[in-house]
Amino acid sequence: MPDTVIIDDIEWRIEQGHLPYPEALAEMEARTAAIRAGGAPERVWLIEHPPLYTSGTSADTAELLDQRFPVYDAGRGGRYTYHGPGQRVGYLNIDLGKRGKDIRNFVHVLEGWVIDTLAEFGVEARRADGRIGIWTNDLNGQEAKIGAIGVRVRRWVTLHGFSVNVDPDLSHFTGIIPCGISEYPVTSLAALGKNVSMAEFDEALKVHFPAFIAGLRRCPDEKSGSA
């Protein structure tokens, strides 16, 4: 059974086991419709999947190098990405209709939430101009991707969200060009020498969740002085 609590009027659900992707996608779509109809609260849904690849709306089949795992059409933005055991996936059904209707701000604040969470474990993560995702330096000092961001918005309710490599099998990423970026490797908390359990990572997400929600409630002009 999933572990479910309510935080700031938002359902926070941690799924146990490895949830098949089609089941997660169908449930996410259903929750989006229910939120729009006023029949369900917003939700943060934390999941691990069995090994699989997903393709976004910009996916190029040339970037699917080895179809060793099932490939699913995600319907989100972006290209190919990998999900699997040891990776924390966060699916967010957030109603931007009551939180500023600002998609760029949503993505920016989501990135900040992941970056702040990683900082709890001594990882200096960051955004990178022109490259989607969350980045850090690996143990060789090379810039590497530790987290992915991919979202969709339907009638101002968000779908999909983020993934962070806690301790996945990094060799599974070699079947694709992750997010279309071949120049940089992927890394994980474990590869950086950080012994972090999934439960510990989830607790750190909770610590920084109020700041994430508060960021969505701000209008752009309140933060930067411009529209």
pLDDT recorded at residue 218: 56
CB 53 within 8 A of CB 64: yes
Of the candidates 110, 179, 186, 213, the residue annotated as catalytic is 179
pLDDT recorded at residue 178: 79
State the total domains in the chain. 1
The answer to whether residue 92 is domain-embedded is yes
pLDDT < 50 regions, the chain: 219-227
State pLDDT tens for residues 47-61.
999 999 999 888 888
The answer to whether residue 162 is domain-embedded is yes
The answer to whether residue 47 is domain-embedded is yes
Active site residue 219: no
The answer to whether residue 222 is domain-embedded is no
State pLDDT tens for residues 6-19.
888 999 999 999 99
Instruction: Of 111, 95, 114, 113, give the one whose Cα is nearest residue 210.
Output: 113
The verdict on pTM exceeding 0.75 is yes
The answer to whether residue 113 is domain-embedded is yes
Domain of residue 170 covers: 3-217
The answer to whether residue 123 is domain-embedded is yes
What is the separation, in whole angstroms, between the first and last Cα of the chain?
44
pLDDT recorded at residue 221: 46
Find the CATH number of the domain harbouring 84: 3.30.930.10
